[in-house]
Amino acid sequence: MATSLADIVPPGVVTGDNLLKLLEHARDNAYAIPAVNCTSSSTINACLEAAKKNNSPVMIQVSNGGGAFMVGKSIKDPNAAAAGSVALAMHVRSVAKYYGVPVVLHSDHCAKKLLPWFDGMLKADEEYFAKNGEPLFSSHMLDLSEEPDEENIAICVEYFKRMAPMKMWLEMEIGITGGEEDGVNNEDVDPEKLYTTPQQVYAVYDALSKISPMFSIAAAFGNVHGVYKPGNVTLQPERLLKHQEYTKEQISSPLEKPIYLVMHGGSGSTDDEIATAVKNGVIKMNIDTDTQWAYWDGLRAFEKDKHDYLQGQIGNPTGADKPNKKFYDPRVWIRKAEESMIARVGVSMDKLGSVGTYPASSEPGYPDFGSVSSADAEESCSIL
């Protein structure tokens, strides 16, 4: 690689110009960053540890359902998902700097019916920006792919104008990802709608590029949410190159890949399909189903191995009066789940080519809370 990522992007949560530099580096050097859905401090820490272990940047993302879980399943307040998402983000903000790698703090699919959740997070971003000169989150996703293209793009434009003064990244989706996730069910969708056209992608680029360069497009190429055996999903990642070529021609870009693309529904994809997608400009791939299984599998294996020590507080194969606290202590079995998830995130980093792109720093990363001055914040706004 011509330029070392560590020379241009600091460790810790990255936003604004540093985020743009990170994703430019990924695009220009043909690797992608795994974006892992997290629902707890434990799953967050597992992702951060995997990033440190593999010398890779990482994206921590929260879904609407994940935010609702984070605040507590018993809470039925309409603002619960936003509150939980902010709580998750604050945990990442508190600990990310100690892992020595760049961390992108992102929110996942937001359908039209979930816009109040998006509004709540954006309000938290604006409040954090006013105090610290940068938003709480690095980026957000709007998934209005169920709506007509014109409405999808118009709503994205409206929100992007609000996000741009904070130099926030917007991810949007055009075309439909099959399967089901967070209450959006596309299991019976017309298969042809699973493939976005170059013209659709360019329409997004044309509208959003007038506001800011900080956006990415999740263009469907047969993707399906959920878990499937390799070969059971008909992915066509070569279509992504056609999107790049069409937009390049329309704007006369000197770049071979002028669009930042995102891959959803990667479970069951072959290594070759993932490699082709990354080669054609994918800079982020969502990981959820596989890491959910890995987290559970670590616990499952531990319970199987230590079953006879987990049937009561006292009594095990070594003696009827022997205590079992060191086996049922949550810090023991949660750690086993984390270790399994750490390994699986590492697999994704390897497949996406991000391993070794950022030697983990031994110095605490940026930013500390409140480390950006108000003058820096004003300068950030004036640039736009």
DSSP 354-380: -TTSSPPPSS--S--TT-S-HHHHHHH
Of residues 176 and 8, more confidently modeled: 8
Q: Quick one: CA torsion of 262, 265, 271, 276, rounded to 10 degrees? A: -30
Cα–Cα distance for residue pair 47/231, rounded to 1 Å: 28
Q: Is the pLDDT of residue 339 over 90?
A: yes
Once rounded to an integer, what is the mean pLDDT over residues 147-172? 98
56 touches 349 (CB < 8 A): yes
Pairing relation of β-strands 319-323 and 169-174?
unpaired
> Per this entry, what is the length of the chain?
384
Write the pLDDT tens digit of every residue in 69-105.
999 999 999 999 999 999 999 999 999 999 999 999 9
Give just the sign of the alpha carbon dihedral 242, 245, 248, 249: negative
Active site residues: 108
Write the pLDDT tens digit of every residue in 30-66.
999 999 999 999 999 999 999 999 999 999 999 999 9
Which amino acid type is present at position 168? M
Helix (H) or strand (E) holding 37: strand 33-37
Whether cis (ω within 30° of 0) applies to the bond prior to 230 is: no
Write the pLDDT tens digit of every residue in 287-302.
999 999 999 999 999 9
Cα–Cα distance for residue pair 99/213, rounded to 1 Å: 29
Helix (H) or strand (E) holding 61: strand 58-62
